Structures are given as structure tokens and as C-alpha cells.
Amino acid sequence: MDKNIRFIQGNEVCVEGALYAGLDFFAGYPITPSTEIAEHLSSRLPRKGGKFIQMEDEIASMCAIIGASLTGKKVMTATSGPGFSLKQEALGYAIMTEIPCVIVNVQRGGPSTGLPTSVAQGDVMQARWGTHGDHAMIVLTASNHQDVFAITVEAFNLAETYRTPVVLLFDEVVGHMREKLVIPEPGVIPLVERLHTSVKDGVDYHPYLPREDGRLPMSDFGGVHRYNVTGLFHDMWGFPSSKPEIVQGLHRHLVDKIRNNVNQIMRYKEYYLDDAECVLISYGSSARSALHVVEQRRPRGERLGLLELQTLWPFPYQMIKDKCKHAKYVLVVEMNAGQVLRAVKRAVGDPERVFLANRVDGVFITPTDIRNILRIIMGKGA
């Protein structure tokens, strides 16, 4: 037996991915269906000298990881629906102060307490726009354990590269199911480590003055450079400022550093798109049902293809437009009322060929659900 093979839940895969990426600090609060992440990390982190803390609430967990990140640690918190709502203000703080951190949201049915133990994908728009004010976000997802592992590592890498919070938007089905995972040997997936400033002691360090490539080298708390971190608009010293040119400049920087790098941040998988007459677009666990339909129908000569999104935000509008160029139909498969559907309609230009196969009743969307919609679209009757 290969020692790197595991048969574990998706939530535990996320833990493995985070540890592979170099996680050393986790703060969390119990909530279904993400709790297993906290449980496993409470055991795993101290074994490698890392730290786990169960905070008094969801907000405190988000704040604690931001604090720890400033001491040079790779940090993560995990939550679900209601907890994700509670974290939004502090998440915005991490955006504004450009502090790398990873937030896992194992989605469940909402709004409110909703369906704690059932599957849903209703937080796609919240992940994008949950915190107040204009901002950019990186939100990633995955549909199977090998990809959950890789995308978790990717989340840490992107958080460091762009100095921003990255949201991992998983769902109850992927989080709770068990399947095979092969853990790559160390070094197989490259890691992005914290970019530290090369400015020497005694020389002015500008914590919020981006380099030419847009990156902002950091200096850990406790180091030789002392600076201010604030959620107020701030100048290159990190000191509060409401000067219009400073506000405008920081605003542009925060949005552009992500928006101008859509192609670098974009992760997706495609199946049979070359000749697809109907392109299914899906993500997370829904993509498993979509792929099931595609694989099953292909041998019968139905030209179906699947575009599986792993980067949900920034939304890859251009890529989707290109991939759907020759498709007669585009079918978005998701477990919400059409959150990605709307973005896809914007992307493809002629929205009348875009359709939705969804479920919002807490039941995992089945291949039959998708086939029924396909039959209607293709004019074969209900």
C-alpha cells in the first residue's frame, strides 16, 4: 500500500492541503458542516509545532488569524453559512490591510440557519460581495478530493502572492464524502512563501508602497520595521488618510491587483469541449453530477462537454466567452437560484442560449435532474 494514499472526508483533505501548504495557525469556531476541519487541525497542528485555537465566536476566529498572519504565520479559518456571514467585516479588514489568509466556507443551505446538514451552493455571491464597499476577491472551489487538496494549496499561494484573503468555497457533499486522495510528495506542488522586505534596519520601510510588479513585501511584527496597519484608507506608511488621491490610489490598487491578473488566478478544468454542442458549466460537487451526465451521454453520440470552474472570482468572463463560442446551448449546473448563471449570461453575450439546471431544496442535484433539463432545452419534451 502506498503510504501517501488516504481514504478520508473532503474536510480532512482540506486539512492535508493546508498543512502541505505550510499552515501554522488556525482559529475557528464549531459549525456544521465544516467542523471536521477544526477537529483535525486541533490534533495535527501542535504535532508540527503549529497552533490551533478555538475562539469565542466566528468573528474572533477571523480576527485572530489576521493577527497571527502579521507575525509571519500562514493562517486559515473554516466555517459554514452563518459563520461566513459573521466573518465578513473582518474579511474586509484583511482585504484593506492586505493580510494573507485563507477562509474556508463549507456551504450549507441558507439563508439564516437554513439547512445545517444539507448541501447548497448559495454563497457564491456572498463570497464575492459579502463585505461592504468596492473590492476584489479571490474565491476558489473544487469537486473532488485530489482537486480539493490542490486548490487548498493554491489558495495559500494566491493569498501570499496577492496579499489578500482567499476564500475556499466548498460544499457539504464534497466536505463530508470520503474518497481517495494521493498526497503528493513535498515539493511536487510549488509553494509561495511570504515575501519579506529586503529593506535593512534603519532604512525607511514603506509597508504599503507596492513594488513595480505590484507586490508588497511584508515585515513581520516583532521585526526591525515598525509600521501601522489600519482598516482606514491609508498612505504608504499605513497611516490613516482621507486625501482623495490616496483613497483613489489605494482603491485602484486593491481592485486592480486582482482584476488585472484574472488569467493568472483562473483555474478550471474542461471535458470534451472541442466539439461540444452543449456546454455544461458547473463547479463544486454539482460538477460531479454534470460530469456523470457528460460521460454517460458521450458514447451515445450526444455532443456534451463540461467546463468546471475552480476559480469563481475573479470571474473568468473572457475564458467562458471563448469556450462557449461554438456552443448551441450552455447549461449552468449549480445548487442555488442561479448565481453563476447570471455571470455566465454576462460572459457569453447572447444570454438566450444559457439555461439553468439547479436544485435549492437541500437535495444533491442528480444526473436525472440535469438530463430532464437537457431534454427540454433540446426540444425533446419534458
Cα 244 vs. chain centroid, distance in angstroms? 32
Check if the beta carbon of residue 308 is closer than 8 Å to that of residue 143: yes
Q: Which of 11, 21, 25, 141 binds other proteins (CB under 8 A)?
A: 25
311 binds other proteins (CB under 8 A): no
Buried/exposed code over 252-270 (b: 16+ C-beta within 10 A; e: otherwise): eebeebbeebbeebbbebe
CB of 148 to other proteins, least distance (A): 13
Quick one: 116 or 249, whose CB is closer to other proteins?
A: 116
Buried/exposed code over 105-125 (b: 16+ C-beta within 10 A; e: otherwise): bbbbbbeeebbbebbbbbbbe
CB of 25 to other proteins, least distance (A): 6
Quick one: 282 or 339, whose CB is closer to other proteins?
A: 282
CB of 291 to other proteins, least distance (A): 5
CB of 37 to other proteins, least distance (A): 15
309 binds other proteins (CB under 8 A): no
Report the alpha-carbon angle 277-280-284, nearest 5.
160
CB of 3 to other proteins, least distance (A): 10
Rg (CA), the chain: 21
User: Residue 27's closest CA among 102, 96, 139?
Assistant: 102
Q: Which of 27, 312, 320, 330 binds other proteins (CB under 8 A)?
A: 27
User: What mask, x for binding other proteins by CB under 8 A, covers residues 51 to 70?
Assistant: x-x-xxx-xxx-xxxxxxxx
Q: In this structure, what DSSP letter does residue 196 have?
A: B
288 binds other proteins (CB under 8 A): yes
Distances in whole angstroms, Cα of residue 196 to Cα of each of 125, 190, 228: 33, 18, 16
Per CB under 8 A, residues contacting other proteins are 1, 5, 7, 25, 27, 32-33, 43, 46-47, 49, 51, 53, 55-57, 59-61, 63-73, 75, 89-90, 93, 116-118, 172-173, 176-180, 220-224, 226-232, 237, 239-240, 285, 288-289, 291-292, 295, 364, 366-368
